[in-house]
Amino acid sequence: MEKLAIQGGTPVRRTPFPKRQPFGEDDLKEVREALESQDLFFTSGNKIAALEREFAEKYGLKFAVASTSGTAAVHMAVAALDASPGEEIITAPVTDFGTVAGILFQGLIPIFADWKPGTFNMDPAEVEKKITERTRGIIVVHLFGNPCDMDAIMDIAARRRIPVIEDCAQAYCTPYKGKWAGSIGDIGTFSMQQTKHLPTGEGGMTITDNADYARRMALFRDKGWENRARWGPRTYTVLGLNYRMNELTGAVARAQLRKVEAAVKAMNRLGNLLTELIRDIEGIFPCPVTPGGEHSYWLYAFRVTGFEPQEFIRALQAEGIPASWGYTVTPIYLCADALASKRTFGRTSYPFVSPYGQGSIEYKEGLCPVAERELKEIGTLRFYENWSEDDIRDVAAAFRKVAAGLPRRK
């Protein structure tokens, strides 16, 4: 048996994996055009308007509204629902705080639906259990790039007449039964943060076919300024914020939009290859893929049940593999003080303690037991579209070496 690197043996991988290089001459050309226009403001430039039109067309929808970040995109989507303080939004227990921030800032109460075992995504049955007369929306999170069970979610939403927002921060160009994630629910939201499939450093986008939602989101990202296009007395008709994208970001996003589908296809191919190479390792569950969907592998997430998970990940790292343990380690309702301690606005704990809230919601261990358990078993690997199949084969070789050399879990 080959000696593990963590025990002093020779690592499987002794050279660095390729660094991602998403930006090139096409991005520079777009940025140069924006700079040469001498106007980087969203209403008078042309990059953002073109980006919104092209993004909507790519997803086959009527409207796209650009913003400053994925967090802003989700906040705009939540604001478009026009819910009243104290009402509830059901969402996923494992996500970035950006999914939850807009809920709280609108005075709404986040309600968390547990994972379906082995999927890393919300269980539709758990979603339905959490619906009350106060429910005003569902935010699904296509975690890691794996689409949720949207048939079941949309069936529930249609029967209960509840709008669905899709958080696609990690799921660009992700197929599900003939559509892309983000175009199935009422509103789709996207992040353009540096690690995402479509990177601009920071940026966001919301898409919809609903003209009223599109109008409210466009107003919300511009402080509610209704008559901006006309000179004269101002009218602010929506309580909004400044979430306006600038033309430099729009320029980079246009170039990246032309490349993102090919990038995702490359990552899908590499992720599927890794699954094929490790699927027979006892005690390792490869990255799950929802039936009817395809994975975009923003992260390759797998479960370690046959070994002590942290020990397995440390051994992979010693073999030169850039793996990590736990993702967030605990659900968002335990690792965010705004939820776990209700530390929100000054000393008020609004919206949980207010004339509008029920005051009984508790975010504590045991709320979503499947997610809490499986987070401790998760390992993740980040690869990029410029990795080769040989790079993936090295990863798989390290998995096999570590699985053969570590003691099994009792």
Active site members = 196
Count the residues in the chain: 410
> Residue 287 and residue 162: Cα distance in Å, rounded?
30
> Residue 140 and residue 122: Cα distance in Å, rounded?
7
Query: How far are the Cα atoms of 18, 70, 166 from residue 244, in angstroms, in the given order?
Result: 34, 12, 21
Q: How many CB atoms lie within 10 A of CB 5?
A: 23
DSSP assignment of 20-52: P----HHHHHHHHHHHHTT---TTT-SHHHHHH
- Distant-in-sequence, close-in-space partners of 86: CB < 8 Å, separation ≥ 6: 107, 108, 109, 134, 351, 354, 355, 356, 357, 358
> Residue 351 and residue 336: Cα distance in Å, rounded?
15
Block residue for tokens 């999170």: 141
Torsion of CA 276, 281, 283, 286, to 10 degrees: -10
